Amino acid sequence: MKIAFIGLGNMGGPMAANLSTAGHEVLGFDLNQEIAQKAAAKGVQLAHSAEGAVEGADVVISMLPNGNIVLSVYKQLLGLANKGTVFLDCSTIDVKSAEEAHAMAKEAGMLSLDAPVSGGVGGAEAGTLTFMVGGSDDAYGKAKPLFDIMGQKAVHCGAGGAGQAAKICNNMLLAISMIGTAEAFNLADKLNLDKSALFDVISTSSGSCWSVNTYCPVPGVGPESPADRDYKPGFDASLMLKDLKLSQDAASQTDSATPLGAHATSLYEKYVEKHGVGHDFSGIINDLDALNKA
């Protein structure tokens, strides 16, 4: 396929490179030339403009920071693509913006998918991402071969916007479970319980979860995780906060009770305010006592 890839940052760059390595003709574009050159070093051809990338493309993939930028890019590019082109947005944005992007694409005669990802930069580089996909069966079928290159799993969650809905529900739960994991290990420490012993219990008992089994926030316990690399992300806490805020916006719009999600959002707001970017979300284990008292 001829693929236009708009947004070549930490996630988009490796995804585009994997598509290029697999034999697709990928033309990438990013406003940041330094970021674009990093993608070029990985084998991605660069277009001089977003418009130039889209010309003649079978699929237009975007990986962008927020819903407003996605909608702006769609307004810019939809009129330039051939009818029936698949617009595949892999950004994590609010459900309302995703639905609006689908409506714009439909009006322009395009197929469209919202397909946010899970798996972080490591997953993007290794081609092991999970895609949560919203959109028509026709669009999903055309994009499925690309999901198989960029990831290890794609779940068609439903109509337009369903992918974003699945992503924010998943990550709200992830944040809650990471905080719960941190609480359990901090309590164990104050009870003089060996943390490796606690890991062996929890990972094979009813408390078992991904935050313990795969991504334990305690250095030297369980499989290697950001905790063993001084909490370098991984999944940056600022991105977790972004997803939590999206979940709370959705909860407010749908009158859904998410008290633990709301508290997790509050704690991560304080954590990110203290540390800024560049810290994995699991590092909250080191600040829970202080954050809870703040």
Residues involved in catalysis = 167
Closest to 185 in 3D by CA, of 204, 173, 200 = 200
In whole angstroms, give the CA distance from residue 91 to residue 249: 17
CA distances from 70 to 7, 61, 179, 235 (A): 10, 11, 31, 22
In whole angstroms, give the CA distance from residue 165 to residue 133: 10
Amino acid at 69: I
* DSSP E strand boundaries for the chain: 2-6, 25-29, 45-46, 59-62, 86-89, 111-114, 117-118, 129-135, 151-158
In whole angstroms, give the CA distance from residue 267 to residue 248: 14
